[in-house]
Amino acid sequence: MNIGIIGYQGDVSEHVEIFHKLSREYKRDIDPIIIKDKRYLKSISGLIIPGGESTTIYKFLKEYDLFEPIRTMVSWGLHVMGTCAGLVLISKDDPGSRVRGMNLLDVKIRRNAYGRQMDSFSEFIDLEGIGRFNAVFIRAPVIEEVGDVVVLAKHKGIPVMVRSERVLGLSFHPELTGDTRVHEYFVEMIGGEGYTSIPERKYTIEEFI
């Protein structure tokens, strides 16, 4: 299974290492691919949009014409996980923000609401279907409103991990602890099936990309 990781900025290498660890220790056939060009989207079954600076990642997604292809390919069956800044990018679009959301996840986000870099913290929280997990929050976004999503975890009553059918969003950084369970959960979401066949699709992936 090929998992793409948007590779312009942020915790790219950390996600890559987690997937390598899954492959080594748990004998999972997973190949992480750093994505900087939309041509590589056609070779992946899942995509990670990592934590980092959301305005920078957004700028490069638009500049290299990845923003709309990702939106379209999720409707075709691509699975996506967004962590921290990635959550901002997959959430509802906020016209008042410098970062346009992809509307892939029915949640409203407030950027950097957990504070500045100096306010970073980690805390053990319970993740549904995963268990007790050391969640690392760094300039994390707050999920202010939830719509048609499943809330998988909360911190002090606020949702911090939510899921729709093919999209997983987290306020925290699961890649910074060395714990592979969130990434394994994402792999299980994909199930090794790659794209779902959707009759309404007008183009093949090759024609679209």
In the predicted structure, residue 95 carries a pLDDT above the cut 90: no
Residues 154 and 135 sit within 8 Å (Cβ to Cβ): no
If you average pLDDT over every residue of the chain, what do you get?
A: 87
Residue-wise pLDDT tens digits, 18-44: 999 999 888 888 999 999 999 889 889
173 is catalytic: yes
Output 28 or 81, whichever has higher pLDDT.
Answer: 81
CATH code at 137? 3.40.50.880
- Judge residue 84's burial from the number of C-beta atoms within 10 Å of its C-beta, 0-12 exposed, 13-18 middle, 19 or more buried: buried
pTM, full prediction = 0.88
Number of independent structural domains in the chain: 1
- Please pick, among 173, 184, 193, 200, the residue that the annotation labels catalytic: 173
What Cα–Cα distance (Å) separates residue 122 from each residue in 11, 74, 138, 187, 204? Answer: 16, 31, 9, 24, 43
- Whole domain around residue 110: which residue ranges? 2-208
Task: Label residue 70 by pLDDT band (50, 70, 90).
Answer: very high
Active-site residue, 17 included = no
155: amino acid identity, one letter: H
Marked catalytic residue, from 14, 15, 175, 183: 175
Each residue's pLDDT tens digit, 148-167 = 999 999 999 999 999 998 99
User: Of 14, 15, 84, 155, which one is the catalytic site residue?
Assistant: 84
Does residue 15 have an active-site annotation? no
Per-residue model confidence (pLDDT) at position 73: 93
